[in-house]
Structure 1
């Protein structure tokens, strides 16, 4: 039976750093100690004023190809996960295909999935490999939430950072992609939303705070949703893969904030040494959090035989899968 593997991962971080001291300078009441205790982030990278999601995506692909000597002509499918596309149309993936120098025989598609986007992207990539539609799929996550956030929104500015990643999925590689568990519940969509700017509501140009032109997040409701859904997601994924909390070597969740992560770890009863928290230098980079942390895990030679990765959030949507060292 055909199998699909994560072969390589690279990522790109914008040059601009936005530190807790920068935030404290803008909002003196919101100091470093509060940010560390509530969110667990020291600094985050922020895209330049003229930088676009496609620019970051291209940088991530270039890093992937140069780091692992990948011939671009062999990439035959490109998936870009982003909630900050360059345009309504065309797909950002088409722009990136051209500017990154990928062949015109390469399929190119966007998905808009947010915090669970890496998991959903892997489902599509695995399907393309197993069905033999493609041999080498590059899954890019490129997120630029900073441009969705109001300048006076100290909470969300403290949480979110910008980043792009590129993952090569093929019929051979470092980690076999196991069985997925997925879910969605659109009844909670308004708890993490930008209400204006699509076809439903035009942007108003309202620059006051708060404004429906910018990102809105109902933190308490998102927390309640996560606490309700994630334990079932984890145990369901373990069951699908014939695994247990004991048999899995590492659990890597979407890096939303450290308070939530520690709560989930305790709720599910995951041992400290099996649970990754890796966001203090990046912030919440949305769909890029899991591949960044996974790349770091692999680079640091902490090779684990079995890793469970899980994403959850905006939508609501959620998903998880087990990865097996080959």
Structure 2
């Protein structure tokens, strides 16, 4: 079978910064120290009013091309993951093809996933390469959850930041040269309403405008992102440890063979809970979100890029990647550095 490799990663963060100090000034009951300790985030980047997920994705891809001297004409397929597209139609990826100078013979499509989006995108890219459809796949993830958040929703505003990432997956190993292994994927639609924006699409085109406050003082309406934090925590706690065990086994490794476990960077509290459940030491379980927050489908890529830049990767390292969240949707894959 034709192998596929993660070769280059880059990301883009918007200019505007929302710091813990900014949030504490708005919500005096939340101290800077409390936010940092529980959530593990010191600041997040927020897209400008006229800046979209597609805009950020284009910027991330342009950074990737320039830094790594990648010819846009070498891209055979563009995958764009977002839950905040510019339009219902046309497909954002089609517009990005023109903006990025990709060939007209390049395939392009959007797919709608959240925190598991990168893992699913890797599985699609691997399939395109294994099927001989593409040699070079550009996987872009971009999200502007900030545009879904109620200004009085202090809980979600402390967690989410906006960002975009761009990854080149190819049939030859260069750059980072991380061989993509076997996947485990999962879905449970019974949890759909625990992380949702109800209004705006075809099921409920118009928002009622009615605001509701939860037991923690967070305010949302049906036009805003709603997250049932306890339910999401329980779903993650019940499903992700088993996902990790199954993926390690599917790739014919033991837990001890894995150099790093790079999970979706949801928040520090949840990540540390999961780390303890799968009995992994802190040095093998990096958390890289303090400077950008939970960027949804880009968190794993940002963490990988930071680890690579810091010189933490070596040939032979095995890294288990796991994404999980809205849907419910989850997935894992183990990559091996060449």
Q: Structure 1-normalised TM-score?
A: 0.98
The aligned counterpart of 2:271 is 261
In 1: Cα distance, 2:208 partner to 2:63 partner: 37
Match of 2:53 in 1: 53
User: How far apart are 1:37 and its partner, in Å?
Assistant: 2.2
Q: C-alpha distance in 2, partners of 1:278/1:221?
A: 24
Between 24-33 and 240-249, report the one with greater CA deviation: 24-33
1:209-248 matches, within 5 Å, as: 209-248=219-258
CA distance in structure 2 between the aligned counterparts of 1:10 and 1:80, rounded to whole angstroms: 15
For residue 182 of structure 2, the aligned residue among 175, 179, 202 is 179
Quote how far apart the aligned CAs of 1:210 are: 2.2
Structure 1 counterpart of 2:330:
318
The equivalent residue for 1:131 is 131
Provide the residue aligned with 1:84 in structure 2: 84
Counterpart of 1:107?
Answer: 107
Q: Indicate if the aligned counterparts of 2:208 and 2:222 stay in contact, CA closer than 8 A.
A: no
Q: Which residue of 1 aligns with 2:284?
A: 274
After superposition, where does 1:32-43 map in structure 2 within 5 Å?
32-43=32-43
TM-aligned CA deviation for residue 207 of structure 1: 6.8
Q: C-alpha displacement at 1:94, in angstroms?
A: 0.8
Distance 1:272 1:52 in 2: 35
> Which consecutive residues of structure 2, in runs of 5 or more, have no partner in the other structure?
212-218
Q: 1:189 aligns with which of 189, 192, 195?
A: 192
Residue 203 of structure 1 and its aligned partner are, at CA, apart by 2.6
SS state at 1:246 partner: helix
For the residues of structure 2 that align with 1:263 and 1:136, how far apart are their CA atoms? Answer: 37
Structure 2 counterpart of 1:144: 144
Q: How does 1:147-162 map to 2 (within 5 A)?
A: 147-162=147-162
Runs of 4+ in structure 1 over 3 Å off: none
Q: Give 1:89 shift.
A: 0.7
Pairwise CA distance, 1:287: 0.4
Aligned to 1:277, the other structure's residue is in SS state coil
**SS across alignment from 2:262:** strand
Who is 2:206 aligned against?
A: 203
Q: What is the DSSP-based 3-state SS (H/G/I as helix, E as strand, rest coil) of the residue aligned with 1:223?
A: helix
Conservation of the 8 A alpha-carbon contact between 2:19 and 2:42:
yes
**1:33/1:207 Cα in 2 relative to 1: closer, same or farther (>3 Å)?**
farther
- Which residue number corresponds to residue 306 of structure 2? 296
Alignment partners' CA distance in 2, 1:207 and 1:87: 25
Whole-Å separation in 1 of the counterparts to 2:196 and 2:163: 20
Please list the CA deviations of residues 271-300 of structure 1 after superposition, one character each: whole Å capped at 9, or x if unmatched: 111101111101000000000101111111
How far off its partner does 1:205 sit? 5.9
Secondary structure of the residue aligned to 1:224 is helix
- The residue matched to 1:115 in structure 2 has which SS? coil
**Structure 1 unpaired stretches of 5+:** none
Q: Residue 11 of structure 2: SS of its match in structure 1?
A: strand
Q: Larger deviation: 21-30 or 115-124? A: 21-30
RMSD: 0.9
